[in-house]
């Protein structure tokens, strides 16, 4: 069983000042020790790299790239997936919902993934199970 990993979780794992850091770090360590099959999209990577670089700096980007990402399989967003995600975003018409979120939902549904490591309530709104 694969588990999706969202930007909100990755950022919380890396940022000691994040309000979810303790829970995120404990959850991450548990997932890794249990050898769970972890997955994210290329869009999550772009979003996470940008946020980590801006908020935490290059050392945190290096930790993300060298320590965390080797443990996560990346599903690359292609033009068809991008189009479906953009249409979902436009149909939803919600300012707080992002294209990255919609691409994550589309990917999870396509791959039959129901559980996500995230602190983003949009996943629960879409019917996915959040951990922690």
Domain range annotation of the chain = 2-131
Mean predicted confidence (pLDDT) in 114-123: 97
**Chain-centroid distance, C-alpha 80:** 20
Confidence of residue 121 (pLDDT cuts 50, 70, 90): very high
Q: What is the pLDDT of residues 70-99, one digit of tens each?
A: 999 999 999 999 999 999 999 999 888 999
Average pLDDT, the chain: 96
pLDDT at 101 (0 to 100):
97
Range 4-16 average pLDDT: 98
Q: What is the DSSP letter of 128?
A: P
Fold of 2-131: Rossmann fold (3.40.50)
**pLDDT reported for residue 96:** 87
- The pLDDT score that the predictor gives to residue 1 is 82
pLDDT at 60 over 90: yes
CA distance 89 to 67: 32
CA dihedral defined by 43, 69, 67, 59, rounded to 10 degrees?
Answer: -20
The answer, yes or no, to whether residue 67 has pLDDT greater than 90, is yes
Cα–Cα separations (whole angstroms), residue 1 to 33, 51, 54, 56, 122: 15, 28, 33, 32, 22
pTM of the model: 0.95
């Amino acid at each position: 069983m694969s588990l999706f990993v969202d930007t909100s979780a990755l950022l919380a794992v890396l940022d000691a000042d994040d309000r979810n850091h303790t829970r995120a770090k404990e959850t991450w360590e548990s997932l890794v020790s249990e050898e769970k099959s972890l997955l994210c999209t290329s869009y999550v990577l772009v979003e996470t790299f940008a946020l980590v670089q801006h908020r935490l700096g290059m050392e945190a980007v290096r930790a993300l790239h060298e320590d965390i990402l080797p443990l996560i399989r990346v599903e690359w967003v292609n033009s068809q997936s991008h189009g479906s995600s953009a249409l979902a975003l436009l149909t939803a018409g919600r300012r707080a919902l992002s294209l990255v979120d919609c691409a994550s939902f589309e990917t999870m549904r396509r791959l039959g993934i129901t559980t996500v490591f995230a602190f983003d309530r949009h996943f629960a709104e879409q019917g996915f199970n959040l951990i922690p």
